[in-house]
Chain A
């Protein structure tokens, strides 16, 4: 068997006459994180619901690891974990009970169940609450349990629909860290999100959808450079408030096009060229000793690409 994969073939979903997803063809393969982007009502949730057996496609097929979801759910979802919308757990259950049920359904051997449940509960930082009834939990706490349920069997394929919504800032960071760590463990993650900075941070590729149609599927680098007019953007942070000397120093670096002060310690730098130029820029800035403490590719590049693509397809 090859690596984990997700594939939509001519996938369509109509609600009455309205096409929520139309003729979607998309093949994701191998360990990586793919961001699923698109405006409200674009069809992201609808697509993910088809892949998780919550709804049936009007036509076309959906495969996980080569298994057709409508023909053999048990095989198709055997190696997939998912979090779609905000599932509720029976209020009378504790996280431990709810997760034990999933563990049993998924055939985790009895001897390993408790240990595995402990592990995922720890991973989403809910150990303190594991024996409290879910009924009184906040939205974010429930969402953590839902994430734990998706990770329970350490699946190869993970489908997440806006996983960080409802979480507090720390929760968001934790979930992003979980996703990043999944990537290092050879998982294929397909994740919808409205937070472009989140996608730019954790994903390797993006799929954009609008009006149920796939607009773009490419690597993050390709998508952003396509609309960057040959320019790259980075955000840098310095240790003290930026003064004129530093501004001049940065502007003087080869390739820098413009400089925008975001706040006293953060500047957004636009520069000519692609990743090579970005590497050189980093090197040059470090050698200038301007007190730079952080340097990262800006999500604004993805934002530019998004706005261009989504506007274009109207």
Chain B
């Protein structure tokens, strides 16, 4: 719809002018530069034994962090900021549905994030080509595709939280805490203590981005421990990972939209 496109266009322009966008690019470049230096100087064998392990170590290990950062930076206060900064008052009293605003903003945030993720991929490929020549393993393309899907779910999730609050800093803080601490904590707890697969954790689903670059594909592994104890490390399979990602995406998108439709500019 034309209005969604308009919102997208101007929101994207706004992201492009925001300091945040450049901070994120800088972080992106910093990670890439650090990796370039470390790999170039120390030549770690886990990176350099094959081009697949190279991409697995570089892209597979770090891109999920870049994705979460982008989700928080661009989505963390996308909606709450409209309330706190009163910018919503400029757009809302126009003949436009709330949903068009939400979708347009979401797409702009996604596009801006995808650029930063793309740049990180570029850094990986440039280095990969330097060490292993132009033969980029096909798994990398699949992994990039998974990363973009994962980004959509992360962005859906952060948008949902941003429409839960009316204060930018609170919604950003909550999403940061969830992604960086709560998710991994809960995942570790249920996996090690209770021994069930943490299929309800988004970051667990996101592990397919890294897993696809490993040969053989990692499997769930139970190591018998002392006495009756055993330790299980869960590895998410591609179908399960994709299911987690898409369920998170659809649920948070629907819930976020629902909240924004009902939210009042008081």
Contacts and interface: CB of A to CB of B under 8 A. Distances in A.
B87 A74 contact: no
A98 B17 CA distance: 14
Interface stretch (B64-72, B89-97, B152-160, B230-238): B89-97
A96 interface: no
Q: What interface size band does chain A fall in?
A: 35 or more
B14 A90 contact: yes
B2 interface: yes
Interface in A44-78: 49, 52-56, 73-78
A45 to B, nearest CB: 9
Given A54-B264, A55-B265, A92-B17, A149 B95 contact: no
A198 interface: no
A146 interface: yes
B13 A53 contact: no
Interface string A67-95: 00000011111101010111111101100
Nearest to A46: B266
A188 B86 CA distance: 26
Interface string B4-15: 001101100110
A107 interface: yes
A80 B96 CA distance: 12
A254 interface: no
A104 B95 contact: no
A29 interface: no
Contacts of B2: 104, 107
Contacts of B91: 101-102, 105
A225 to B, nearest CB: 36
Contacts of B96: 73-74, 77, 105
Interface of A: 15, 49, 52-56, 73-78, 80, 82, 84-90, 92-93, 97-98, 101-102, 104-107, 146, 149, 159
26 contacts: A15-B266, A53-B93, A54-B88, A54-B93, A54-B264, A56-B264, A73-B95, A74-B97, A77-B95, A77-B96, A84-B93, A86-B86, A87-B86, A87-B87, A88-B85, A88-B86, A89-B90, A92-B14, A97-B10, A101-B10, A104-B9, A105-B6, A105-B94, A105-B95, A105-B96, A106-B94
Given A74-B97, A84-B89, A104-B9, 9 more contacts: A74-B95, A84-B93, A87-B90, A88-B85, A101-B6, A105-B91, A106-B94, A146-B90, A149-B90
